Amino acid sequence: MKAIVEGVRVAGLRTVVPAQRHSFVEDPGIFTTEEVQKLAATIGVRERRVLPRPYCASDLCVAAAEGLMQQLDWDPASVEVLVFVSQDADYVLPATACIMQHRLGLPTSAAAFDVPLGCSGYIYGLWIASRLLGGSTAKRALVLCGDNATRHLHPEDRATLPLFGDAGSATALEVDTNAPPIPVVIGTDGAGAPHIFVKAGGKRHCLIPPVGTAGQTLEKEAAAQLERDSRLTLNGAEVFSFTLRAVPPLLREAMEHANTDVEGIDRFVLHQANAFMLEHLRKRMKIPTEKFIIDMQGFGNTSSASVPLAICHSMGSQLTAGPVKTLMAGFGVGWSWGAMVVELGAMQEPQVVDLPGNWPVLTV
């Protein structure tokens, strides 16, 4: 599917990461030193940020939103759209976005809802929020993207443990009749669902005994199976195959939709899946190294937050001068994918900051 967003600009970005760091290079754990060095060179991750309990992805995103609104001098009462993109809701219900609306002091006239997407979620979130601004009386929106992926990882899963990190982001959108149009390309193929998968936790495969067995304890074997099913499983070969099959056509279609080509794009910022995969895509698409962002060695794969995190960390100072014509693309879990071409800047410099150590714990 293709779309064009008109009359909306990206006013600012901010990313918040946990202060807690973990490096398998320094602390190999279940890996040998040789394995760790090879992994770091291949996946491009030397250090990850790990969110400690009891904090959640929403805490990172709320901190990012508060800091961004202060930086932009936005009155929270002026924000009437809040889209929270995450695979890690605080609760089964209510929607985490409702709680975030209250925490941020947004007006009760605001539309606030969750979008449970991962790797493609940033593109979807920007597209949805932009269209809501274009079709309503609202003038400002916040797109909050973040995941607490490390909490899904099994401590002995060698395929996922070194790769994923935690982060939360906030992107401010504002109605602007002079903003250049933003071409968007979106796609989905649910046949890929089993290849990046957390089986337990929803109603299809519940973590609690069914009604009528309250008080009974699960057999040890069943309990162990539920523990395994609550962890992330990733089929690396299938993910790589999907990426090579879907992403080059996505990038070409997005550029064609924007009536441009590689030469006409200033920066390419793709979902930071792993460095080897991204470099393979860069070479296949013949994108110059200086235009292509690979920036995950200090953060890991942060799912829905990876694109805004890479922009904030790698392009921050460039965006104060702007505009920078940027092709952003997300792809993965679902399968789900999306891309957009947007002119970023001029804006106040995007920041990457640590979650404050005295950040309040949410109670409901």
pLDDT in tens, 243-291: 999 999 999 999 999 999 999 999 999 999 999 999 999 999 999 999 9
Q: Is residue 71 part of a domain?
A: yes
pTM of the model: 0.94
Q: Is residue 218 part of a domain?
A: no
Helices (H), 135-259: 220-229, 236-257
The rounded Cα 165 to chain-centroid distance in angstroms is 11
Q: Is residue 228 part of a domain?
A: no
Say how far apart CA 99 and CA 356 lie, in whole Å: 20
Q: Is residue 198 part of a domain?
A: no
Sequence-ordered list of residues with C-beta below 8 angstroms from that of 104, at least 6 positions apart, any chain:
62, 65, 66, 69, 76, 79, 82, 142
> What pLDDT does residue 218 have?
57
Can you give the CATH number for the domain in which 177 is found?
Answer: 3.40.47.10
> Is the model's pLDDT at 349 over the cut of 80?
yes
Say how far apart CA 301 and CA 274 lie, in whole Å: 7
Number of domains in the chain: 1
Per-residue pLDDT tens digits for 221-255? 766 777 778 888 889 899 999 999 999 999 999 99
Average pLDDT, the chain: 92
Average pLDDT of 30-45? 86
Residue 153 near residue 88 (C-beta atoms within 8 A): no
Which residue segment(s) compose the domain that 119 sits in?
2-189+235-354
Q: Is residue 18 part of a domain?
A: yes
Angstrom CA distances, 231 to 95, 127, 194, 201, 252, stand at 22, 30, 13, 10, 35
Helices (H), the chain: 33-43, 57-72, 96-104, 121-134, 220-229, 236-257, 275-285, 306-315
Side-chain half-sphere exposure of 132, counting CA atoms within 13 A: 22
Q: Is residue 224 part of a domain?
A: no
> Is the model's pLDDT at 215 over the cut of 50?
no
> What pLDDT does residue 209 have?
58
Say how far apart CA 20 and CA 349 lie, in whole Å: 24
Residue 200 near residue 170 (C-beta atoms within 8 A): no
Q: Is residue 216 part of a domain?
A: no
Q: Is residue 185 part of a domain?
A: yes
Per-residue pLDDT tens digits for 113-170? 999 999 999 999 999 999 999 999 999 999 999 999 999 898 888 888 889 999 999 9
